[in-house]
């Protein structure tokens, strides 16, 4: 699954990536694929079948959760992915620029109280099924 231009644009202006920008690190913007900062997973391997219920990757552009199974011997997948773009910091930054520091602070507090409603509203679920060399990826709407 490739992130598009919008994901790269979001990561460019995210406050979470500010330390990277200060050191002039723009690899997550110009590199192919999905850059992530951390990955956690609880996996169960039985013969050649790999099962997960809580595989999570968090990066500057998005937070991704995967669950389902992978058949390593046959190189097939039956997974569901929940993808939530990381826009909360961009919204706070935009609020601060447009409305000033008080509006920016209020935006940040509201997002923390409401559990990042912008990220949740923009999240989508996908099914990833079939062979690794030609998977069927279908959007199934909001999780």
Judge whether 27 lies within some domain: yes
Encoded tokens for 18: 């500010």
* Residues 79-89: tens digit of each pLDDT: 998 888 766 66
Residue 116 lies in a domain: no
Task: Give the pLDDT confidence of 93-120 residue by residue, as tens digits.
Answer: 666 667 777 776 776 677 667 666 655 6
pTM flag (> 0.75)? no
- 93, part of any domain: no
Q: What pLDDT shows up at residue 24?
A: 54
Q: How far is CA 123 from the centre of its chain?
A: 9
Tokens representing 77 are 């997948």
pLDDT digits (tens, 9 = 90+) for 37-83: 788 889 999 999 999 988 898 877 777 899 999 999 999 999 998 88
Number of domains composing the chain:
1
63 inside domain: yes
In a domain, 70, yes or no: yes
Buried b (16+ CB within 10 A) or exposed e, 34-54: bbbeeeeeeeeeeeeebebee
Domain that holds residue 65: 5-87+122-139
In a domain, 129, yes or no: yes
């Amino acid at each position: 699954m490739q992130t598009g231009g919008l994901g790269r644009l979001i990561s460019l202006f995210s406050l979470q990536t500010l330390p990277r920008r200060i050191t002039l690190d723009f690899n997550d913007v110009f590199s192919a694929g999905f850059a992530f900062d951390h990955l956690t997973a609880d996996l169960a391997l039985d013969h050649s079948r790999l099962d997960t219920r809580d595989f999570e990757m968090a990066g500057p552009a998005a937070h991704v959760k995967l669950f389902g199974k992978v058949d390593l011997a046959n190189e097939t997948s039956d997974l569901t992915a929940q993808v939530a773009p990381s826009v909360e910091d961009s919204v706070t930054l935009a609020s601060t620029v447009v409305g000033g520091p008080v509006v920016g602070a209020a935006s940040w507090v509201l997002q923390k109280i409401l559990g990042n409603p912008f990220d949740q509203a923009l999240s989508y679920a996908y099914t990833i099924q079939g062979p690794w060399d030609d998977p069927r990826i279908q959007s199934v709407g909001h999780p």
